[in-house]
Amino acid sequence: MPTKKLSASDKEFLAFAKRFEKQVRNVPDFPKPGILFKDITTVLKNKTLFGETVKQLAKQYKGKKIDKIVSVESRGFIFGAALAYQLGAGFVPVRKPNKLPAETLREEYALEYGTDALEIHTDAIKKGEKILIHDDVLATGGTAAATAKLVERLGGKLIGACFLIELSFLNGREKLPNLDILSLVKVS
């Protein structure tokens, strides 16, 4: 099977992703023993890398006429809002229950032990709007899948989801079938 030749922009994106990955700090045993936490505050404090991250993500969606970026609290808000600005799109926060002030739609999802829920304002998305989901990490996929369901319930048209880091060993992509997914860094 022939290998696809990478374009100059693909090579630039891959080189950037490697620089990004080198700046992410690994914090062992946080928030509990056995977990290796991927800390992006090291990227946030670097004004050059922070700006380049937003620009590199935006390049991937340029020309797709995205109406809104939907992001999950709280780290997803940081790059999600900046990405929305860069793309000339609106920004929609998805939050844990009882954090949004107006009427909300709620979606429950399964955790390893129990359930959790996310909410979105009922007037956040108009039917047919093109939506991109952004979050900092794709792990088991529960949060992203619940967010996708909220978008669909409001009539939004999902064009993809982008993440800074994907923990691919947790198979989160499986919960997002038929959705174009972009991750800067994949951890196996």
What residue ranges in the chain does DSSP mark as E strands? 25-28, 36-39, 68-72, 90-94, 104-111, 114-121, 130-138, 157-167, 181-187
CA separation for the pair 43, 45 (Å, rounded): 6
Task: Judge whether 173 counts as a catalytic residue.
Answer: no
In the prediction, which pLDDT does 139 show?
92
Domains of the chain: 8-187 (3.40.50.2020)
The confidence score (pLDDT) of residue 4 equals 64
pLDDT at res. 109: 93
Say whether 166 is catalytic: no
Element (H, E) at 48: helix 47-61
Distance CA 10, CA 3 (A): 14
pLDDT, position 6 = 73
User: pLDDT in tens for each of the 188 residues of the chain?
Assistant: 455 677 888 899 999 999 999 999 999 999 999 989 999 999 999 999 999 999 999 999 999 999 999 999 999 999 999 999 999 999 999 999 999 999 999 999 987 677 899 999 999 999 999 999 999 999 999 999 999 999 999 999 999 999 999 999 999 999 999 899 999 999 98
Q: Spot the catalytic one: 21, 52, 73, 75.
A: 75
Predicted local confidence at residue 5, as pLDDT: 74
- Burial grade of 8 (CB within 10 A; 0-12, 13-18, 19 or more): exposed
Q: What is the pTM of this model?
A: 0.94
